[in-house]
Chain A
Amino acid sequence: MAGVTGVGVNGAGGGMLGREARAQYAAMARLRWRMFVHGLGSIHGLLDLGATGIAWVFYSILGLGLGVGLCAAAYSLASSASWQYLPILFWAISFLWLLFPVLIASFQEQSDLGILLRFPVHFGSYFLLYLISGLMEASTIVGVLCCLGVWLGIVMARPDLYLWTTLGLSMFAVFNILLVCAVFAWIERWLAQRKTREILGAAFMVLMVSVLVINGVFSQKRLEGRKSHKEQAAPLSEALDKYAPLLKTANLVQQWLPPGLSARTLQRTTEQKPVAGFASLSLLGLWVVVAGSALAGRLKAQYRGQNLSWASSRDKATDRGSGWTLGGSGPFAAIVEKELRSLLRTLPLLWAVSVPLLFVLVIAGVFHRSPSSGMNSFPYAFPLCVAYALLGFTGLFYNNLGAEGAGIQLLFFSPSRSGQLCWPRICFTPSCSSS
């Protein structure tokens, strides 16, 4: 078998669009397709596909909802020529585009192109494949739908701005895609850590409930209706006056950043200053180059074999010496001690233990003024239902032998009765919660 090198070899060269590179793209595409098809052949694969489908529907609905909202806002701003407020929309999209993937990172599989490094793959091909995997991210769907919303809103109000809006928003979208890819490539080491993913997962759940509760607070304020619009606006006006210099400086700075530049491109065009509009667009292009370079820099390092997640795992040769023991003897004490160690080292377990208490406090806080103040608790019904539903997930982390993994065999091998093995687990978490 050896010594047949050269037979049937496509040949090197041609760069990232050469014959060999194209054959490699085809092989990658076929690989993904075959993996998908085989995935359908098993229950696990079908469930996986179902979960992915539901997630994509959720992201699409989220993106469509935000897109419609942004479309209305953009239409309103463009038709009233309030271009000075347009950057707010672009900044909102940018934050969402960047924050959303970081928060849902714990629920997603991170794409790892490390398997390609053993093959004679051109760096350009490696870069391109990474970018394509970035395009498949949920944040891209949501972000692009938001951009489409803004584009539609502006073009409906000002059809004459079709070209500039298309150019500005396209470049803005490309910048965000590159930025998110670059950020992810750089924080790979951080995301590779189990604890980080756990923290982000918990943060996402808290954020979901918090947003719903905040919405409830606003609804409550609206329902109270005790103050007139004028009264409500007064404190806001005072605050704006107080922070005016700061806001002015922030506005000056944001104009030079991508969301500001995207908005300024359109603003300048409407002011009949196409050269200034073009200059803003060019600066935005420069930002695209900066984001692309940041991504290329990290990927080049990955391509050289500088794998941050490996470094992270090897680097952290931390001493996890036990330091303490619970004492006692027999399986009951041993299992309780094991559960306690697992609890202290696993954030989802801590979350599972603490979150019921947290929700009790939140619910108590929401309702305790209700009878005397006549507060309407109806706006909080939905967030509390969501919070209650989330409690269901916490139950998966404990009293579940599946979480033991391969270690479960040790329990079965031990010369103990099944009751001795199960009771400590059944008693442990409720004891922690109640204490």
Chain B
Amino acid sequence: MRVLIIDDEDDVLTMYKERLEADKFEIETASNGQKGLDLAFANPPDVILLDIIMPKFNGLDVLQMLKSRTETKDVPVYLLTNLPEEASGEKAKQLGAAGYLVKANNEPSTVANLLKGLASAQKRE
């Protein structure tokens, strides 16, 4: 399963990449919204993990862009962020995010399990 992670903190990218690659996921990373979109449009992944608060290109804007293009609109996007859910959970749902993961409560192993579940669900389809 191919996963694209977009987050402005390099340490966050390293953290999740380390664990997910150990679980045999194919990982692509981008440290800003624009790079992330370029990668997603060029080679649509199976899942996208997207940080919301990023300088210049806000995560919610990236989400909107992803949902507006045919090649990426069906890719499930999980918002990976530090804000408590009330802060922008509503807007995220409105824009079509698949889920909301507060980083502090969802360390790499949790995300790995979530993605494993997703992968087996997708295989079954």
Pair from one complex: no
Interface set of B (CB-CB < 8 Å, partner A): none
Interface, chain A (partner B; CB < 8 A)? none
